């Protein structure tokens, strides 16, 4: 059987091909799954998609009409998939329920430290042989307060790093993580966390209840010199409200690896044509903001685990088995 994989990065392609070698042929495409590209999948029983794939009802109906019966998404998040339509079409849908939490947690810390210590500005200056320190003043993380919003596997990994820095730990989640409390974390309501934390890092899934979790009221509640990091899902932050606060001169720094309107932008070279997203264009002009292209997960360790799980998901589908990865199981 030939599996069609959409949205495959150049670094990812040899890993996917090696993982499926001897089991199935795999055809890797660098284009993303959209309404326009969905017809390409005709005749492929199994399709693999990336995190920014469009799996709306219209796309799912095109896939099903072309003979697709299983979708293996190479990510944990699934807010891009219309699961109700998939179930009506008898499409089995699987994701990767977990992979290295350290990849995302470490990248979140890289963003936090980069904005805190003005790394991007400093590197830009030294490349021009400008070695002044003006405007590069950072601050110690030791003794300050980290607010971790979401303390699952990734949030726990982030907390362990914060503990290593010697920070005070505040957490907010629907359930307490004993591993985090053992590190000295105090669970508080969201309002207290926002008001007291010097560094706020988001590690919750994007659900209707968490959409714009960090909106205008939450941003207003934060310290003027706080650092905000989002390496989870772009929709957690109301970006327009964030731009308004940044224009008012608030926040030491903001590190975003995700953006609520990233589909169609991230993972694509727009350098020669520009973008028509005024909010993103304004956001990247702030000197205390770093935006990266949803790459926190992108380590050889994590990508390898994602691909291994995808191979298992395909094998489980063909064998008629289920697992924790299946969002739409067999009927």
Tens digits of residue pLDDT in 90-125: 999 999 998 999 999 999 999 999 999 999 999 999
CA atoms within 13 A on the CB side of 123: 6
pLDDT value at residue 273: 87
Q: Which residue has the tokens 């890797």?
A: 28
Task: Please tell me the pTM assigned to this model.
Answer: 0.91
Look at the alpha carbons of 66, 67, 69, 70 in this order and tell me if their dihedral is positive or negative. negative
Tokens of 163: 């503990």
Tens-of-pLDDT digits for all 331 residues of the chain? 999 999 999 999 999 999 999 999 999 999 999 999 999 999 999 999 998 899 999 999 999 999 999 999 999 888 889 999 999 999 999 999 989 999 999 999 999 999 999 999 999 999 999 999 999 999 999 999 999 999 999 999 999 999 999 999 999 999 999 999 999 999 999 999 999 999 999 999 999 999 999 999 999 999 999 999 999 999 999 999 999 999 999 999 999 999 999 988 898 888 888 888 999 999 999 999 999 999 999 999 999 999 999 999 999 999 999 899 999 876 6
pLDDT value at residue 108: 98
Which of 74, 92, 233, 250 does the annotation list as catalytic? 233
In sequence order, what are the beta bridge partners of 186? 170
Is 262 tagged catalytic? yes
Give the closest residue to 170 by CA, choosing from 154, 149, 141.
Answer: 149
pLDDT value at residue 331: 65
Q: What is the DSSP pairing of strand 46-49 with strand 2-5?
A: parallel
* Residue 136: alpha-carbon gap to chain centroid: 28
Tokens of 43: 């005749």
- Contact assessment for residue 53 and residue 6, using Cβ atoms and an 8 Å cutoff: yes
> What element of type H or E holds 202?
strand 199-202
- Contact assessment for residue 195 and residue 141, using Cβ atoms and an 8 Å cutoff: no
Tokens of 229: 């990091």
């Amino acid at each position: 059987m030939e599996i069609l994989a959409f949205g495959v990065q150049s670094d990812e392609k040899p890993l996917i091909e090696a993982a499926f070698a001897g089991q199935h042929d795999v055809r890797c495409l660098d284009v993303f799954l959209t309404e326009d590209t969905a017809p390409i999948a005709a005749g492929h029983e199994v399709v693999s998609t990336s995190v920014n794939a469009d799996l709306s009802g219209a796309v799912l109906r095109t896939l099903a009409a072309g003979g697709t019966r299983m979708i293996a998404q190479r990510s944990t998040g699934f807010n891009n998939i219309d699961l109700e339509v998939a179930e009506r079409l008898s499409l089995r849908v699987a994701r990767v329920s977990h992979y290295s939490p350290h990849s995302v947690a470490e990248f979140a810390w890289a963003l936090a430290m980069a904005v805190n210590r003005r790394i991007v500005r400093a590197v830009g200056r030294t490349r021009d042989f400008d070695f002044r320190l003006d405007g590069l003043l950072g601050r110690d993380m030791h003794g300050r307060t980290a607010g971790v919003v979401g303390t699952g596997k990734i949030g726990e990994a982030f907390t362990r790093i914060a503990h290593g820095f010697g920070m005070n730990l505040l957490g907010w989640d629907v359930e307490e993580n004993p591993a985090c409390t053992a590190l000295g974390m105090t669970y508080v309501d969201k309002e207290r966390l926002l008001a007291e934390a010097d560094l706020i890092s988001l590690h919750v899934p994007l659900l209707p209840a968490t959409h714009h979790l960090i909106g205008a009221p939450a941003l207003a509640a934060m310290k003027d010199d706080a650092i905000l990091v989002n390496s989870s899902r772009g929709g957690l932050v109301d970006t327009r409200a964030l731009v308004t606060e940044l224009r008012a001169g608030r926040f030491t720094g903001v590190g975003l690896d995700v953006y609520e309107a990233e589909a169609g932008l991230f993972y694509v070279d727009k350098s020669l044509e520009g973008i028509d997203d005024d909010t993103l264009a304004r956001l990247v002009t702030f000197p205390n903001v770093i935006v990266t292209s949803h790459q926190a997960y992108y380590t050889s360790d994590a990508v390898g685990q994602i691909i291994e799980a995808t191979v298992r998901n395909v094998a489980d589908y063909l064998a008629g088995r289920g697992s924790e990865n299946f969002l739409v199981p067999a009927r």
